[in-house]
C-alpha cells in the first residue's frame, strides 16, 4: 500500500508471507564455507516493510526504509 503527496512525500507499507520447502542456504561470507547448499526442509517467512520518501527541496530527496522479519 502506498500513499503519495505529489512533489512532497510518499509513504508505503508492505506485508508479506512466504512458505515453502527444500530451500537451499547460500554461503555469503567467511574464509571457508562450512554449510553450502544444504537443504533445510520447510520454512516460513513473515514480515513487514515500511518506507518513506520526503522531498524538502526541488533537487533533494530523502528516503528511509525498515523491514521486520520473522523466519
For residue 64, what pLDDT is reported?
98
pLDDT tens-place string over residues 23-61:
666 656 666 655 555 556 677 899 999 999 999 998 999
Give the distance between the most distant pair of CA atoms in the chain: 50
Domain spans in the chain, listed from the N-terminal domain onward: 2-24+35-70
Taking residues 5-22, report their average pLDDT: 91
CA dist 16 and 48 (Å) reads: 6
46 vs 14: CA distance, rounded Å: 11
Amino acid at each position: 500500500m502506498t500513499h503519495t503527496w505529489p512533489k512532497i512525500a510518499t509513504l508505503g507499507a508492505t506485508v508479506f508471507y512466504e512458505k515453502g520447502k527444500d530451500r537451499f542456504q547460500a554461503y555469503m561470507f567467511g574464509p571457508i564455507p562450512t554449510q553450502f547448499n544444504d537443504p533445510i526442509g520447510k520454512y516460513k517467512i513473515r514480515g513487514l516493510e515500511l518506507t518513506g520518501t520526503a522531498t524538502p527541496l526541488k533537487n533533494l530527496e530523502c528516503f528511509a526504509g525498515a523491514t521486520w522479519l520473522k523466519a
